[in-house]
Structure 1
Amino acid sequence: MNFDLSDEQRLLQDSVGRLMSDCYTFDQRRSYQEDNAGYSEAMWARYAELGLLALPFAEEHGGFGGGAVDITIVMEAFGKALILEPYFATVVLAGSVLRYGASEEQKVEIIPAIADGSMKLAFAYAEAQSRFDLFDVGTKATKDADGWTLNGAKGLVLHGDAADKIVVTARTAGDTRDMDGIGLFLVDAEAPGLTRRGYATQDGLRAAEITLQNVPVRSGHVIGDPEGSFPIISRVADEAVAALCAEAVGCFIKMQTFTLDYLKTREQFGRKIGSFQVLQHRAVDMLVDLEQSRSMAMYAAMMAGESDATERERAVSAAKVQIGRSAKAIGHQSIQLHGGIGMTMEYSIGHYFKRVAMIDTLFGDADHHLRRLAALGGLVDRQ
């Protein structure tokens, strides 16, 4: 498996890295967070100008035909900067639903608007009882003469309060925990009967609780098979996990860099604390965790496009296990080695720790994915 980047990918890496270095310092991030939207609309426009919003979509729909590795490059850079904008929600989550499930007419209507930055999307999949089980869907979709009617509630809809349209999972047949009988519906955020309660998450981003009461959806806004969309949902989740792993690696890089810098400058007992061997060992442990995570994130990116669902799931679950464990290990070390300043809101290290803790939880924590990996027979098929 070749992990080398192409010339185009190196150019993408350099351009995104420069943008983040120039426009997304920690102080600039705090100013963006104070905007009404909770992020910078100006930066969203810059992403559109650079083609980042169009990156994974097909060229015939106004995109650049990028793959999971290209998204990984962007997400790692975004992780280093702790971006606030709804890139993951719009391009990675809802965008992947469109790429794998939408009709040609739907793609032509929506994807160009995503690419130019004029439309933001969210993916409403989680419910109070579902925890990490994507197939646990209680929201109901009832067929009627004009299309469908949705009733139910969704939680932790990432950037759901800023979305123009929301992709909603709803049950059209079967029991709450059946894998069959699940549909995907594209709902206008201002549709009658849809209410949103936005709030800030622990990592500084935005999310929303969404209630659906007799929300009408036209037949033309059903994505894919209304009774057989779970394979699409599962594939979207796997690609989302690969993207989150890359974002976490970007966070880990910054956490390790900041901690090393602090060890080299902070003095205690008349000496730089980095000269104490026990702290050097802890810094080395951070580097080992970082490199293990980097390798697994690269592996997940390479396997995210795998058509064999079992092999894809093995790879992304193995990566998520490593990312979750490293998030705790690197997070604890970075906070402890910084001492009291690591706990303050004014210093960045705690914000990185909050973000990687959220990444560990999204789409299943390390324990969940370890059980999933075991059920799949482990990372390597022994048969």
Structure 2
Amino acid sequence: MILGTSAAAEDTALLTDTIRSVIRRTDPVDGRAERVYRDGPVDRDLWAVLGTEIGVGALAVPEAAGGLGASFADVAAVLELLGAELCRVPVLSGVVAAAALSRCDGAPRAAELLAGIATGETVVATVVTAPGTDPGFRAEHVGDDVFVTGRAGFVVDGDVADTVLLPAVDESGTVGLYAVDAAVLTSERMDTTDATRILSRVRAEAAPATVLAERAPLGWIHDRAVVALACESLGVARTCLANAVDYAGRRVQFGRVIGGFQAIKHMLAEVSVAVELAESAVAHAVWAVVEGSDDDLAEAAAIAALACGDAARLAVEKNVQVHGGIGFTWEHTAHLYYRRALTSGVLWGSGDDHAQRLYALAAAGAATSSEASTDPRQEPASAVLSSTES
């Protein structure tokens, strides 16, 4: 659970308990693996309840735009729950899109899309671009009209979205954010490891677009997306740890429960430490979203991605090992969690990518501090001595 005041924690717990009861009723754990491969990566029955009746999509939408304007701590807790249950609903894409659209002040189309996300009637996907990389799209202005050309892969919910948000470079070299109706795009579902999530290739060929922001905060959007994904990964890690502990306490081998064996104890203890680190990283990232600066968010997002990615990978691997032979079967959900962790671990940057960005942020911060320092007590000893002698 994300850290907060006791009153806020109670409200968040009530919210997640309500959503969990709906999930367990509509998509129970028993038979979930069979339903995933039978129905595909979209559970429309569950989304009809969560999106339309419960209003999960409205949590991340500002109240002024027709949403609930919930705190990001609530949003993070719900994302963690959806990750824990491997829910096949377009909530992650909605949270990322709502964050991007919230930075498009004064754009009528942005307000329309936010209202659609809040009611659950509109699915909005976002092309998330890593800081400092080419967005892959070009925008051409013809009179009052704008047309976008380009392509991108690994777009979450791209081929079930009604609208896609695209970052594109215009004639002046400025990167803006554009909304493009899915009807004028070519979308293709990718064949990926994770059977519980839709990832798509999206291509635009002179597609009519609407300008949402002439200067897109691509780094900020990327960081918000990474934090949201880290919350999901934390849910995956915690559930796999809980499942492994539960099974180890029930499975009897050689006349005793396997949880009593030293090797199993050490294995689960290692996962527990990783999960605790991930929880702390997510709590810090939630603070950065709510109260921190953009620099705080960038740093916290990289830390959360590293911690939660590592915890999820470790937890899913040990969960399969603890379950032994049954953990490798197609009917068990262990392999679904394993696949989700593998995909999420590279979706918006690998562990190496996040580590390198964290290093770059730290180096940039150190350089800035060094340049800004005028206090002799913070100067190198040689500089202080030379100034004294002169």
Letter paired with 1:111: L
Pick closer, same or farther for the CA change 1:138–1:107 going to 2, 3 Å: closer
1:44 alignment partner in structure 2:
47
Deviation at 1:361, TM superposition (A): 1.2
Decide which moves more: 21-30 or 43-52. 21-30
1:199 alignment partner in structure 2:
190
1:177 alignment partner in structure 2:
none
Match of 1:224 among 183, 203, 213: 213
Letter paired with 2:83: G
Task: State the distance in 1 between where 2:35 and 2:90 align.
Answer: 13
Deviation at 1:306, TM superposition (A): 4.0
Structure number with larger C-alpha Rg: 2
Task: State the distance in 2 between where 1:222 and 1:240 align.
Answer: 21
Within a 5 Å distance, the mapping from 1:127-146 to structure 2 comes to 132-133=130-131, 135-146=133-144
Deviation at 1:2, TM superposition (A): 6.3
Does residue 182 of structure 1 match 2:180? no
1:75 alignment partner in structure 2:
79
Pick closer, same or farther for the CA change 1:345–1:109 going to 2, 3 Å: same
Please tell me whether the aligned partners of residues 314 and 378 of structure 1 are also in contact (alpha carbons under 8 angstroms): no
Percentage of identical aligned residues: 27
Please tell me whether the aligned partners of residues 267 and 318 of structure 2 are also in contact (alpha carbons under 8 angstroms): yes
Q: Which has the larger share of helix?
A: 2
Match of 2:201 among 189, 205, 209: 209
Letter paired with 1:183: G
- Residue by residue over 1:86-109, the C-alpha shift from the partner in whole angstroms, topping out at 9 and shown as x without a partner, is 1111x2122211111253522442
Task: State the distance in 1 between where 2:105 and 2:192 align.
Answer: 30
Task: Extract unaligned runs of 5+ from structure 2.
Answer: 370-390
Does residue 121 of structure 1 match 2:106? no
Pick closer, same or farther for the CA change 1:104–1:214 going to 2, 3 Å: closer
1:313 alignment partner in structure 2:
298
Task: State the distance in 2 between where 1:262 and 1:159 align.
Answer: 34
Pick closer, same or farther for the CA change 1:102–1:165 going to 2, 3 Å: farther
Task: State the distance in 2 between where 1:102 and 1:341 align.
Answer: 52
Please tell me whether the aligned partners of residues 128 and 222 of structure 2 are also in contact (alpha carbons under 8 angstroms): no
Please tell me whether the aligned partners of residues 322 and 366 of structure 1 are also in contact (alpha carbons under 8 angstroms): no
Task: State the distance in 2 between where 1:240 and 1:108 align.
Answer: 20
Task: State the distance in 2 between where 1:40 and 1:9 align.
Answer: 24
Please tell me whether the aligned partners of residues 123 and 160 of structure 2 are also in contact (alpha carbons under 8 angstroms): yes
Pick closer, same or farther for the CA change 1:353–1:381 going to 2, 3 Å: farther
Decide which moves more: 13-22 or 273-282. 13-22
Pick closer, same or farther for the CA change 1:103–1:352 going to 2, 3 Å: same
Match of 2:155 among 149, 157, 172: 157
Task: State the distance in 2 between where 1:84 and 1:57 align.
Answer: 20
4+ long deviations beyond 6 Å = 378-382
Decide which moves more: 80-89 or 94-103. 94-103
Task: State the distance in 1 between where 2:188 and 2:234 align.
Answer: 31
Deviation at 1:380, TM superposition (A): 9.5
Please tell me whether the aligned partners of residues 119 and 164 of structure 1 are also in contact (alpha carbons under 8 angstroms): yes
Letter paired with 1:199: M
Task: State the distance in 2 between where 1:104 and 1:169 align.
Answer: 16
Match of 1:276 among 240, 243, 261: 261
Match of 1:244 among 214, 229, 232: 229
Within a 5 Å distance, the mapping from 1:35-114 to structure 2 comes to 38-47=41-50, 48-89=52-93, 91-114=94-117
Task: State the distance in 1 between where 2:135 and 2:171 align.
Answer: 11
Task: State the distance in 2 between where 1:317 and 1:379 align.
Answer: 15
Task: Extract unaligned runs of 5+ from structure 1.
Answer: 127-131, 175-179
Task: State the distance in 2 between where 1:255 and 1:264 align.
Answer: 14
Count of aligned pairs between the two proteins:
363
What's the secondary structure of 1:149's corresponding residue?
A: strand
What is the TM-score with the length of structure 2 in the denominator? Answer: 0.85
Within a 5 Å distance, the mapping from 1:215-364 to structure 2 comes to 215-217=207-209, 221-225=210-214, 228-229=215-216, 231=217, 233-306=218-291, 308-364=293-349
Pick closer, same or farther for the CA change 1:196–1:366 going to 2, 3 Å: same
Pick closer, same or farther for the CA change 1:111–1:29 going to 2, 3 Å: farther
Please give the root-mean-square deviation of Cα atoms over the aligned residues, in Å. 2.5
What's the secondary structure of 1:166's corresponding residue?
A: strand
Deviation at 1:50, TM superposition (A): 1.4
- Residue by residue over 1:268-294, the C-alpha shift from the partner in whole angstroms, topping out at 9 and shown as x without a partner, is 333322221121111111111111111
Please tell me whether the aligned partners of residues 125 and 154 of structure 1 are also in contact (alpha carbons under 8 angstroms): no
